[in-house]
Structure 1
């Protein structure tokens, strides 16, 4: 009887192997990240500047958390690059009934060319999905980090400033997964200086902050954290905030809003930095983390960020399909 159980068998289930994809910007060498940023800007200016690199590919889009910009960007981006997206919601896969992550990854790899995933689980689950079937996986937000948002944010700054060397960023708000991606991304920028002004008890995870600072040693970037805006630097090119209630999370302290209130980004804070642009990854809660006059004001690039989600998603998809074994 012919063997149909091996890795190259008729069953087609690939053996486990090394993970591949985009999981964390901490793992992206500076030259790789700069390439993604340049490509994002190129596609922002001309979304047809490609040769349909996903032609004939099927891209799974698994979102178990709410999403407007990221999910739409990757679905639309896959189509524009010639691929066929296949969407899954929170209750669509047998993961919901107890099938293991490993078994799921092994099966999906026989039918998909890429998987873009935002799940309720940790980042390690996305790595496991990739390893189980040698499937290319894009982390479209995990609890620990939102790397595709980081690519989008830095691409917008590249569009606005050109060379990002020495850029000065003040991030105001919770040390969430967007902040973690920003820390890792800016650590790869020569002489960048980012200060995270976070409420006491809501800073960046210590491990993420330590990893970003270690990577920054090679580029001369500086990664700082404060818990009082009175200690904020005198100069900044960028002021960035995110909404106080991160997607899919809750805060154990019932009075957390009082802790966050001093970190509201209003006109008074922006006046301290008259030449700075403003970023917000959206969705926004006007009156909470940001004043309407700031979000909708002339220095806001928040809507450019939203528009950059598509070309940056296309750049990430193009990069990840290129990692496929030949």
Structure 2
């Protein structure tokens, strides 16, 4: 668990410590997601053929950690994922990034990687949705598609021979993100899952959990993925994620803004505590704040931080009993 830098009272410190100790014991017993420090023994249950990966070593027949981090297991491979490490991309990852430069036939993005990522003009859908060769006119209009400081969603395409990371946005679900908040959390708090795009229907907001630790919370927009042929004549202003074109100045409803801020503060609270960022946990924190009638700004306070830790300990304990 990370050290939470908040002004706690003595009672709150005791409650938080008890909740964190309970969570730590649950993680250790499960032999997965256990937090370890240097020289900690990693239990492998005397399995045969255990493969020792990054952050581990063999000492007197035991597997010990050589770095601080979280234990990960893939079949018989055991390794430690460093807590302070930067994002390590894998092909197919869904990422959220910010444009920092519009260059020749490409955009450069900050994605919390050791170097900037590249999105080529040829690796994305054009505003008209037609598959064709890119022309000089398309290149001249690049800044009208994505400009500096725009936040976009894309997919990791792969690495080039020079080591640069290339992205692609060939699906209608990718593109510019508007009317929302961009949050940054440590990448180790985000696990790769089958689904990183979430629509919270009851709140009218979208949540995109980027594998690189950049998380987007914004107003819901209708996807054109399934019926793009029927929407070719629809103005791009009607899609919050449409690529290119001039954006209509549309006001976000006040209730939706409140839910965006509430979900964003839920992510911040979880990040402060060092908890994994998943849809289920975020929804739990949002529902907790609503059920207890806690103001949005109070979600970043000491008392709510303790409540979240206690609620998460209760949830994991209940899940383990059911399992």
TM-score tier after normalising by the smaller chain length: under 0.3
Q: Going by fraction, where is helix more abundant, 1 or 2?
A: 1
TM-score with structure 1 length normalisation?
Answer: 0.23
Q: Going by fraction, where is strand more abundant, 1 or 2?
A: 2
TM-score with structure 2 length normalisation?
Answer: 0.23
RCO (CA 8 Å, sep 6+): is it higher in 1 or 2?
1
